Amino acid sequence: MDLPLIRWLRARFDLNHDMVEPAEIVADVEAGIAFKGTNLWVLFFAILVASVGLNVNSTAVIIGAMLISPLMGPIVGVGFGAATSDVALVRRGLKNLAIAAGLSVLVSALYFRLTPLTDAGSELLARTQPTTWDVAIALFGGAAGAIGFTRREVGNVMPGVSIATALMPPLCTAGYGLATAHWSFMAGAF
């Protein structure tokens, strides 16, 4: 029974017409996972931008760090590997995410240890007590990212996903907690 409403809905929600070739998707996922060369340098700069933004309480600077952070690469690798049952890709994504997260915490801790600004502003405090809403935002953002990542024309999806699912500010907040011995900040940010 092929009702007109079903045909209309199927035509509106079809994702196949503008999908990138699967081989290109795999290549993009693979390129985003590794932290070497460009990705490693951009990671360090994103850590420093986020740390300064948190330190001076600047929302705009923190958003900038979210957009330049390459942490989404391993996250996409884990999600894509899980969706395609590629255990090796999931492992590589998790390993590189753990390495990048560890570097983020350590570099931000070093920054916060050296900076003369020590007060915790509202931007830092906002990342110390996550809620279930934060999880919902990450899930919906990730779903939008999964669709956007596989399209020929990405448009404004990926920058929005970068902001909605950003890990850099919480990781740098954890670095602040480590540098200043505010263990509750560190635990909350993680």
- Taking only the tens place, the pLDDT of each residue in 5-40 is 888 888 888 888 788 888 888 888 888 888 788 888
CA 85 to CA 76: how far, in whole Å?
Answer: 14
State residue 127's pLDDT score: 80
Per-residue model confidence (pLDDT) at position 48: 93
Q: Does residue 115 sit within a domain?
A: yes
Residue 48 domain flag: yes
110 belongs to a structural domain: yes
**What pTM, to 2 d.p., does this model score?**
0.80
Task: Examine residue 15 and state whether it is found in any structural domain, yes or no.
Answer: no
How many domains does the chain contain in total?
1
Q: Residue 74: which domain range?
A: 21-189
pLDDT over 70 percentage in the chain: 98
Structure tokens at 180: 């200043």
The answer to whether 163 and 66 are in contact (CB under 8 A) is yes
Report yes or no on 6 lying in a domain. no
Read off the pLDDT band of 1 (50, 70, 90): low
Query: Is 3 within a domain?
Result: no
pLDDT at 135: 80
- Identify the bridge partners of residue 151 per DSSP, sorted by sequence position: 19
Q: Indicate the pLDDT class of residue 75, thresholds 50, 70 and 90.
A: confident
Among 142, 131, 20, smallest CA distance to 78 is for: 142
Confidence of residue 50 (pLDDT cuts 50, 70, 90): very high
Residue 14 falls within a domain, yes or no?
A: no
